[in-house]
């Protein structure tokens, strides 16, 4: 058996966010299933997918500037998607689709993901700046 490859903390946290969104929206009222539930679930899956894509962009070696810009674009897309999830979860809680405690926990997870992603972006900026 091959050992489990370690993941970036941001990816692990984004998976945790996605898992919680699926649990929290499990009993959402039927009238909001597409408007909020499906959008929250899909957007959280997009965040994980985008983070994987960003992590797969190698920014060393030749033409690293183009790859760095690609990685930065993906990181910023994930950050934007987290903001959309935050907004959707707020509106969902206002409409009774999420309980107050669920919304509060989602907000904490979103904040954690945003902070970790911001730290990753800053780390990449410093690392890329030192190479040029």
Tokens representing 75 are 């990181």
- Is the overall model pTM greater than 0.75, yes or no? yes
Task: Read off the DSSP letter of residue 33.
Answer: I
pLDDT 10s digit of each residue in the chain, 132 long?
Answer: 444 567 899 999 999 999 999 999 998 888 888 888 999 999 999 999 999 999 999 877 666 788 889 999 999 999 999 999 999 999 999 999 999 999 999 999 999 999 999 999 999 988 887 765
- Name the region of 78 (left: φ>0; alpha: ψ -120 to 50; beta: rest): alpha
Crossing angle (nearest 10°) for helices 64-94 and 39-55: 160
CA contacts within 13 A on the Cβ side of 53: 16
Distance CA 18, CA 128 (A): 30
Could you give the domains of the chain? Answer: 14-62+69-131 (1.20.1440.60)
């Amino acid at each position: 058996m091959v050992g489990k490859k370690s993941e970036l903390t941001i990816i692990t946290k984004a998976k945790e966010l996605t898992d919680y969104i699926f649990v929290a929206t499990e009993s959402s009222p039927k009238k909001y299933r597409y408007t909020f539930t499906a959008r929250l679930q899909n957007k959280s899956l997009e965040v994980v997918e985008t983070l994987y894509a960003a992590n797969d962009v190698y920014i060393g070696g030749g033409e690293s500037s183009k790859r760095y810009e690609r990685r930065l674009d993906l990181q910023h897309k994930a950050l934007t998607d987290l903001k959309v999830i935050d907004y959707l979860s707020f509106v969902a809680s206002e409409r009774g689709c999420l309980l107050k405690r669920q919304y509060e926990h989602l907000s904490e997870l979103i904040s954690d993901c945003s902070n970790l992603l911001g730290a990753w972006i800053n780390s990449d900026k410093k690392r890329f700046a030192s190479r040029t």
